């Protein structure tokens, strides 16, 4: 799917929503006003998340150069790439949406599919919530659960890479993989 | 009188279903992981098995059916669908292995 067709689809969707609101307003102005109020409230709640997404993308574009990404998170990153993906996933915080956007950006710069999956899987480990997990389930449970989460993230990443890319990633030199916008 | 083997098979089947239901519930749920810990703790207190609660906790944070459209949009349809399916299966596996490991190591609460 190209950016142009996505934009066109978005415009059609916007027009359809406006049309539906127009029809609804003619039929029941009070309920439509209530719905508009709810939409405005929802939009105001989403604004900080959108701001965060844009900030993360801006910082990632500024700091993470394609050569760095290919070297540390690309096909030839080796154990360093896995460690970075695990650590990044554990340390990442906040809503997942900005991280989707950042991973999409990193993939276009050469990040391995497996490492993207590992990053997302390890977001399951929430260090700030560890005291609560220990309170309810005990320290041994928390430790074993975290170990399994980290261990399983690796085969999950490899399996996903095999399913998406067809086979284990070959050596691609310094060329980044082609960007995949929407499959 | 039922045999020991029959009881074990029924117990294994019950645990399998528990983990599946737990993973399913966690997959469709959404919200801060803090909520899943609180819910999981309460479910455990009310007699729900540790396997089901673990499946619930793990799938809550690894499977995102609510976020699926966004993930598909930004990372691709195949990536999102495959990733969430793999995570669902692994949530069940983790749910079975975690309490089993606790028992084997004599650390079960």
HEC assignment per residue over A104-118? HHHHHCCCCHHHHHH
The per-residue pLDDT for range B41-56, each reduced to its tens digit, is 999 989 899 999 999 9
The per-residue pLDDT for range A157-172, each reduced to its tens digit, is 999 999 998 855 544 4
- A149/B94 Cβ within 8 A: yes
3-state secondary structure of B104: helix
pLDDT at B5 exceeding the cut of 80: no
Of B61, B93, B94, the CB nearest to A123: B61
- A124/B98 Cβ within 8 A: no
Task: Report the pLDDT value the prediction gives residue A97, as an integer from 0 to 100.
Answer: 86
What's the number of CA atoms in the CB half-sphere (13 Å) around residue A161? 21
Task: Report the pLDDT value the prediction gives residue A19, as an integer from 0 to 100.
Answer: 93
- A182/B77 Cβ within 8 A: yes
3-state secondary structure of B107: coil
Question: What average pLDDT score do residues B70-99 get?
Answer: 94
What's the CA gap between B10 and B16, in Å, rounded?
10
Sorting pLDDT into bands at 50, 70 and 90, what band is B79?
very high
Q: Chain centroid to CA A141: how far? A: 28
Shortest alpha-carbon distance between residue A96 and chain B (Å):
8
Residue in B61, B81, B96 to test binding to A, most A beta-carbons within 10 Å: B61
- Is the confidence metric ipTM above 0.85 for this complex? yes
- B62/A121 Cβ within 8 A: yes
Task: Report the pLDDT value the prediction gives residue B4, as an integer from 0 to 100.
Answer: 73
Cβ-based neighbours of A79, under 8 Å, separated by 6 or more: none
Task: Report the pLDDT value the prediction gives residue A117, as an integer from 0 to 100.
Answer: 96
CB-based burial label for A45 (10 Å; 0-12, 13-18, 19+): exposed
The per-residue pLDDT for range A83-101, each reduced to its tens digit, is 999 999 998 888 888 889 8
Residue A72 in tokens: 């540390």
Task: Report the pLDDT value the prediction gives residue A171, as an integer from 0 to 100.
Answer: 47
What's the CA gap between A32 and A15, in Å, rounded?
17
- Which residue from A80, A10, A163 is spatially nearest to B81, judged by alpha carbons? A163
What's the CA gap between A128 and A156, in Å, rounded?
25
Task: Report the pLDDT value the prediction gives residue B1, as an integer from 0 to 100.
Answer: 52
* B14-28 burial: b if 16+ Cβ within 10 Å, else e: ebeebbbebbbbbbe
Shortest alpha-carbon distance between residue B3 and chain A (Å):
32
Question: What average pLDDT score do residues A57-82 get?
Answer: 83
Degrees, nearest 5: CA angle A160-B40-B54 = 40
Shortest alpha-carbon distance between residue B2 and chain A (Å):
33
What's the CA gap between A158 and A116, in Å, rounded?
10
* A121-135 burial: b if 16+ Cβ within 10 Å, else e: bbbbbbeebeebbee
pLDDT at A174 exceeding the cut of 90: no
Residue A45 in tokens: 């709640």
The per-residue pLDDT for range A120-140, each reduced to its tens digit, is 999 999 988 888 899 889 999
pLDDT at A48 exceeding the cut of 60: yes
Q: Chain centroid to CA B103: how far? A: 18
- B33/A148 Cβ within 8 A: no
pTM of this structure:
0.76
Chain B CB contacts of A123 below 8 Å: 61
């Amino acid at each position: 799917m190209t950016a142009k067709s996505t934009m066109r689809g978005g415009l059609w969707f916007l027009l359809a929503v406006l049309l539906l609101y127009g029809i609804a307003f003619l039929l029941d102005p009070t309920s439509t006003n209530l719905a508009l109020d709810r939409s405005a409230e929802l939009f105001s709640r989403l604004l900080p998340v959108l701001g965060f997404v844009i900030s993360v993308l801006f910082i990632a574009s500024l700091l993470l150069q394609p050569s760095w990404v290919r070297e540390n998170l690309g096909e030839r990153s080796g154990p360093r790439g896995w460690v970075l993906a695990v650590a990044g996933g554990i340390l990442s915080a906040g809503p997942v949406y900005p991280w989707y956007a950042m991973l999409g950006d990193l993939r276009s710069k050469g990040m391995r599919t497996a490492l993207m999956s590992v990053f997302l899987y390890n977001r399951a480990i929430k260090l700030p919530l560890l005291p609560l997990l220990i309170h309810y389930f005990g320290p041994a449970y928390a430790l074993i659960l975290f170990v399994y989460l980290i261990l399983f993230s690796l085969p999950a990443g490899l399996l996903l890479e095999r399913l998406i890319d067809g086979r284990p990633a070959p050596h691609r030199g310094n060329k980044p993989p082609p960007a995949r916008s929407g499959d | 009188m039922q045999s020991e083997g029959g009881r074990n098979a029924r117990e294994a089947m019950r645990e399998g279903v528990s983990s599946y239901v737990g993973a399913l519930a966690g997959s469709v749920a959404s919200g801060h992981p803090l909520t899943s810990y609180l819910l999981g703790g309460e479910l455990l207190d009310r007699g729900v098995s540790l396997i089901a609660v673990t499946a619930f906790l793990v799938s809550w944070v690894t499977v995102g059916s609510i976020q699926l459209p966004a993930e598909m949009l930004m990372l691709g349809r195949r990536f999102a669908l495959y990733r969430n399916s793999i995570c669902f299966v692994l949530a069940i596996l983790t749910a079975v292995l975690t309490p089993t490991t606790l028992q084997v190591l004599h650390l079960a609460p």
